């Protein structure tokens, strides 16, 4: 590649960095503060030190402009609510009394004031706190946090680029405040919000920020013409103010689509675009609009969503094309690195041959810098890095882990018939009725029972080496005996074993499947101080031996009632892992499905008459753009059917989904061809049952009648009234009675009475029918 003047100016940056610190110092400090072990001053100092060390590390690696403001004690959308003064009325007094305590009150709630609602940030597993707005909302600028961080970075001699949630995305993510009708559209507040943003921007410029980044990821979703008009208006206004820093509008997670020409024309100084995954389409789209006309482009060529090394040659070719389409091209991560773990070099247990394929936040930062250098100074200046990158990619492509011929041959031989059960749903329902002989309104649970202190202690002991495998297994058996005995006594019709052997519904299976890797330090923020360590789906997936049969069979040996076996479905196995990027997701899902199919068949052979395959993530990995959804739903439902269709007609297949909002996937739920579905419904007062009925769902369904997300124990009458309500939508012959979700987060003193009330309520309604 030859260097041009545009190329020579290319620099490296990232959109944001993990907040946690190398040893999750932030989590420890915040939780310490909550418990009163740490003063506010000490918490602030820990946070400031973490920011400084992150910036120093970024600068030391060669990042030329450091992101500021992306740090957060809890969540950056909550920080934005604070920045624009959108404090819910119920929290105002607390915020006025003490800003920090008030902030945490909004995040976590207090005795008298509920927290803000939490929901997933686009299609990631990060959760943000949903702004609550209404016609009476008054915005006021409170840019203190943003200004402080700019000054902190300047004090280190660095160039800060504050990163804010953009005004349009902020409003699109908001919901009507309690008491405000659902018809209220927060976007109607745009004209009120823009002057506040303008004032924050002026303040940031005065503090010394040359550039400010406004994140507008909501624009990668399908937007109405009215919403696109709002975007044009917002940036015309913000871009038109005299006293402002240079503005960079950022998008990520998918292509910018119809919003691209709007922003390309807007009087802003730069755009950040994602060029990875589905967002790679931005390249052609950008060419189609004739480029950015002299604006700066932050080219997101290093994925902030996966854990794999970049393909340097591919990125350099993208960057080379982009040089002709913008005034200045800088190299960046595709989004904040918040969504990936901190440092792959900390993983000492991963085979070095595999570890060289991994890039976490630190490695991705170096990749961005290397690519910028290659772009600016010519690829011969990064010859060694290119060679190492090529070798890493070749090692991955040629590895036995990523290419298991028997797994590939089996997946390639799958036919449409393999993913279909041998009889229709109606025929199966008859066979299952004869086989299971359940009463009307059968009662069951979703799988897990409370994880007791004894069980947690045994698991910790096993990890620490103080409890041996035998003793641990005896503990599991004791838990199963207790769960089975309780369910018989409480009068449940279809029992479960309680899942005591599982730490996590994905990790448990990942640990037993070949092709998955576990990390030791691969923590990523899920919400607030909660971090998860997703397994890495690195290679071809196979099942060396049965994973759950032993525990399910043990439970069945203790009772005459049917025991329902529990598995995690293929889509959820992918959604809650880092997945490989070297083959289509559908291909990976098919491999996982085949491994699960063997497990399902083994469970049936071992005597399980009912098998549940959970797919709580089916809705959440729905692509952001509607055009990509049919293909996703096609492979997702096929994978579920492939996993479950190897059984006899009289074996009953259940599935389970939580996190409400199924509107977009009702047809897909039917396409799973499960016999029974259980759903979260208690909070929506059976809203989902009505939706399913309206969609003509023909199968059996168990809309949850016990809200397990609350410590409250509903009484028999309340549960009975929810059952009556469910009966308005689902015929008695097809209605199951169960809680909303698994019980593992609850305690026995809550679960015992709640389930006794549930079975009593079911009997009461049954008697009336
Ligand atoms: N079977 C799982 C459990 O009961 C389901 C969990 C879930 O839906 N998230 O814990
Ligand atoms: Zn659930």
Q: Which residues are annotated as a binding site for L-homocysteine?
A: 446-448, 499, 614
Distance 704 CA to ligand 2 centre (A): 10
Taking residues 71-87, report their average pLDDT: 98
Ligand nearest to the CA of 709: 2
pTM: 0.95
Which of 395-399, 582-586, 656-660 is predicted least confidently? 656-660
Which atom belonging to ligand 1 lies closest to the Cα atom of 446? Answer: 4
The pLDDT, as a whole number, for residue 687 is 83
How do residues 1-14 score in pLDDT, each as one tens digit? 444 666 778 899 99
Atom of ligand 1 nearest to the CA of 742: 4
Residue 248 falls in which region: left (phi positive, over 0), alpha (psi -120 to 50) or beta? beta
Write down the pLDDT at residue 660: 62
What's the pLDDT at 428?
98
Report whether 577 contacts 516 (CB < 8 A). Answer: yes
The predicted-structure confidence for 232-251, as pLDDT tens digits, reads as follows 999 999 999 888 999 999 99
Return the pLDDT at 350: 94
Starting from the CA of residue 740, give the closest ligand: 2
The C-alpha angle 84, 86, 91, rounded to 5 degrees, equals: 135
The answer, yes or no, to whether residue 655 has pLDDT greater than 50, is yes
Check 64, 339, 709, 757 and give the catalytic one. Answer: 709
User: What are 516-562's pLDDT values in tens digits?
Assistant: 999 999 999 999 999 999 999 999 999 999 999 999 999 999 999 99
Angle between helices 549-557 and 469-490 (to 10 degrees): 50
**Poorest-confidence range of 4-8, 718-722, 723-727, 758-762?**
4-8
pLDDT at 593: 98
**Is 569 near ligand 1, meaning CB less than 6 Å away?**
no
327 pLDDT band, cuts 50/70/90, is confident
Distance CA 63, CA 121 (A): 26
CA angle 194, 198, 203 (to 5 degrees): 150
Regarding the beta carbon of 446 and ligand 1, being less than 6 Å apart is answered yes
DSSP bridge pairs for 271: 249, 297
pLDDT at 144 over 70: yes
**Mean per-residue pLDDT of the chain:** 96
Hey, whose CA ends up nearest to atom 6 of ligand 1? 742
Please say if 709 is a catalytic residue. yes
Looking at 671-723, which runs of residues are DSSP E strands? 676-679, 700-703
- Atom index in ligand 1 nearest the CA of residue 656 equals 8
Q: Which atom of ligand 1 is nearest to the CA of 502?
A: 10
Q: Whose CA is nearest to atom 9 of ligand 1?
A: 616
Percentage of the chain lying above the pLDDT 90 cut: 92
HEC secondary structure over 520-565? CCCCEEEECCEEECCCEEEEEEECCCCCCHHHHHHHHHCCCCCEEE
Q: How far apart are CA 413 and CA 409, in angstroms?
A: 6
Which one, of 650, 664, 496, 644, lies nearest residue 571 by Cα? 644
611 contacts 652 by C-beta, under 8 angstroms: yes
Q: Is 448 in the pocket of ligand 1 (CB under 6 A)?
A: yes
Q: Binding site for Zn(2+): residue ranges?
A: 656, 658, 680, 741
**Any idea which ligand is nearest the CA of 745?**
1
Confidence at residue 4, expressed as pLDDT on a 0 to 100 scale: 60
Q: What pLDDT, in 10s, does the model give residues 203-237?
A: 999 999 999 999 999 999 999 999 999 999 999 99
């Amino acid at each position: 590649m030859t260097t041009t003047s545009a190329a020579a100016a290319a620099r490296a940056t990232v959109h944001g960095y993990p907040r946690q610190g190398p040893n999750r110092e932030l989590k420890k400090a915040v939780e310490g503060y909550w418990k009163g072990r740490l003063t506010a001053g000490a918490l602030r100092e820990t946070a400031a030190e973490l920011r400084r060390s992150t910036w120093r590390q970024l600068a030391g690696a060669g990042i030329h402009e450091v992101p500021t403001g992306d740090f957060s004690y809890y969540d950056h959308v909550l920080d934005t609510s604070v920045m624009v003064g959108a404090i819910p009325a119920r929290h105002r007094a607390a915020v006025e009394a003490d800003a920090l305590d008030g902030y945490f009150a909004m995040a976590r709630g207090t005795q008298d004031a509920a927290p803000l609602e939490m929901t997933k940030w686009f299609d990631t597993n990060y959760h943000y706190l949903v702004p609550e707005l209404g016609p009476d909302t008054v915005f006021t600028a409170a840019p203190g946090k943003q200004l402080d961080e700019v000054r902190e970075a300047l004090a280190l001699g660095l160039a800060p680029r504050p990163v804010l949630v953009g005004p349009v995305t902020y409003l699109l993510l908001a919901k009507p405040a309690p008491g405000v009708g659902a018809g209220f559209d927060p976007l109607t507040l745009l004209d009120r919000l823009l002057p506040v943003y303008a004032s924050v921007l002026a303040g940031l410029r005065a503090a010394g920020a040359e550039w400010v980044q406004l994140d507008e990821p909501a624009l990668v979703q399908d937007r109405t013409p009215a919403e696109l008009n709002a975007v044009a208006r917002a940036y015309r206004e913000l871009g038109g103010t005299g006293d402002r820093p240079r503005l960079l509008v950022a998008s990520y997670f998918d292509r910018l689509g119809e919003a691209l020409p709007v922003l390309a024309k807007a009087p802003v100084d730069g755009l950040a675009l994602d060029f990875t995954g589905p967002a790679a389409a931005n390249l052609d789209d950008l060419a189609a609009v004739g480029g950015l006309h002299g604006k700066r482009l932050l080219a997101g060529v290093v994925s902030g969503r996966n854990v794999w090394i970049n393909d340097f040659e591919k990125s350099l070719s993208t960057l080379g094309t982009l040089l002709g389409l913008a005034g200045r091209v800088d190299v960046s991560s595709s989004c904040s690195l918040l969504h990936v773990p901190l440092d792959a070099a900390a993983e000492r247990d991963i085979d070095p041959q595999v570890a060289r394929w991994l890039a976490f936040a630190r490695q991705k930062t170096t990749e961005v810098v290397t690519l910028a250098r290659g772009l600016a100074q010519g690829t011969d200046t990064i010859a060694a890095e290119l060679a190492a990158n090529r070798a890493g990619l070749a090692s991955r492509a040629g590895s036995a882990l990523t290419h298991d011929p028997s797994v590939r041959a089996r997946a390639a031989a799958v036919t449409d018939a393999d993913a279909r059960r041998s009889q229709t749903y109606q025929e199966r329902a008859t066979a299952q009725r004869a086989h299971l002989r359940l009463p009307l309104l059968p009662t069951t649970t979703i799988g897990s029972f409370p994880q007791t202190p004894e069980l947690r202690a045994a698991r910790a002991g096993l990890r620490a080496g103080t409890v041996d495998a035998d003793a641990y297994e005896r503990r599991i058996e004791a838990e199963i005996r207790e769960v089975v005995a309780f369910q018989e006594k409480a009068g449940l019709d279809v029992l479960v074993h309680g899942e005591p052997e599982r730490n996590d519904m994905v990790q448990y299976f990942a640990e037993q499947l070949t092709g998955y890797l576990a990390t030791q330090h691969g923590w990523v923020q899920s919400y607030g101080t909660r971090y998860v360590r997703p397994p890495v789906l690195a290679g071809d997936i196979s099942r060396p031996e049965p994973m759950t049969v032993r525990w399910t069979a043990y439970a069945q040996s203790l009772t005459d009632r049917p025991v329902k076996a529990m598995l995690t479905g293929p889509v959820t196995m992918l959604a809650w892992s880092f997945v490989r990027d070297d083959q289509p997701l559908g291909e990976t899902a098919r491999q996982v499905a085949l491994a699960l199919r063997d497990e399902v068949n083994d469970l049936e052979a071992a005597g399980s008459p009912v098998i549940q395959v959970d797919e709580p993530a089916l809705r959440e990995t729905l692509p952001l753009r509607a055009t990509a959804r049919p293909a996703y739903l096609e492979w997702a439902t096929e994978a579920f059917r492939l996993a479950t269709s190897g059984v006899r007609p009289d074996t009953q297949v259940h599935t389970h989904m939580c996190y409400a909002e199924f509107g977009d996937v009702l047809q897909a739920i039917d396409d799973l061809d499960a016999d029974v579905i259980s759903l979260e419904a208690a909070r929506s007062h059976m809203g989902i049952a009505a939706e399913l009925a309206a969609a003509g769902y023909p199968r059996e369904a168990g809309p949850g009648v016990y809200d397990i997300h609350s410590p409250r124990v509903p009484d028999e009458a309340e549960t009975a009234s929810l059952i009556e309500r469910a009966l308005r939508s689902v015929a008695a012959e097809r209605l199951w009675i169960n809680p909303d979700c698994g019980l593992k987060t609850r305690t026995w003193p809550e679960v015992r009475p709640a389930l006794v009330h549930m079975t009593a309520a079911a009997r009461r309604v049954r008697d009336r029918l």
